[in-house]
Amino acid sequence: MLPGPDYVIVGIDPGIVSTATATVIDTRTPEQLKNVTVSQGAQIHCTKTYMKSLHDAKRKATFNMRLSGEAEARSWNIEELEGTIEPISCSIDIGQSLGPSWKQLGKSVLNHVHSLLLVQEQLRSFYTARMFKIKGYHRKTAIKATRNKAVDRIISASGLTEKWDENKGPRPVFVVGDGQFGSSRGPVLHQQFAQALNMLVVYVDEFRTSKICCRCDSECKAQGRSLKCSGCDFNRDRDHNAATNMARAVLMLIQEEAWPDALCRDFDLETREFFSTQ
């Protein structure tokens, strides 16, 4: 159990779109949830800038070669070479069974591999070039910076802007998934910010947090970025649902020293029973 009587739990899911979402729970009034959404539109701008520069680089990188079916060699850019790769396609055989046509699938795979082998050297030389790696590195760095800023704004929007001490009410607990902010190079910016405010930083297992309804623990069906519960028909944003599940899981850990059954890896959602992992 976490030390201390009262906490403000901030469960956060930064998402992969233009907003970062969080759910705030006060252990003194756990039934009252506060949802916080912060725009991180700069992250989309970073991606658009990267895609535009990549598109320009593909058009500029040219190779003089002759492909099968061509009378003579000519200049090809990367986009044109990628367009010569045949996609894998498979139709449904309505005759004797409602399954795929395996013969047609095998032929499609062979055509795909053959067309890919013709241009693999050119594509490899482009995608392993230093220029391409640098562009990718700058994009990841920019996205990470905008995400950290969004997380910092969520902490501020949750009312947690002053360094906590024992005379300032409940202690804030910052809850994130263990797969969201992992870093082998030490603490990242948002973790340093949270610890500077004397917040507890808790990493939790994200298993099923985006698939289980935060109200009734039933399995949800994805509808784009939204979820619809199969049990109570509750509609909710996917990231808000994950943030609420993580916050409530830590609340249960504090109050009952237990973890929600539906979020356990050895819990069967259909039978609602635990199974042996041995």
**pLDDT for the residue 245:** 92
**pLDDT for the residue 277:** 52
Strands 7-13 and 171-177: parallel
**pLDDT for the residue 184:** 41
**pLDDT for the residue 183:** 47
**pLDDT for the residue 186:** 38
**pLDDT for the residue 254:** 86
For the segment 76-124, what is each residue's pLDDT rounded down to a tens digit? 999 899 988 988 876 655 555 555 567 778 888 888 898 889 898 888 8
**pLDDT for the residue 185:** 40
**Cα angle value 43/44/49 (rounded, 5°):** 100
- Neighbouring C-beta atoms of residue 241, cutoff 10 Å: 26
**pLDDT for the residue 18:** 59
Spatial contact of 10 and 173, defined as CB atoms under 8 Å apart:
yes
Give the Cα separation of 53 and 89 in Å (integer): 30
Is the pTM above the cut of 0.85?
A: no
Stretches in the chain below the pLDDT threshold 70:
1-5, 14-19, 39-44, 46, 90-101, 143, 147, 179-193, 276-278
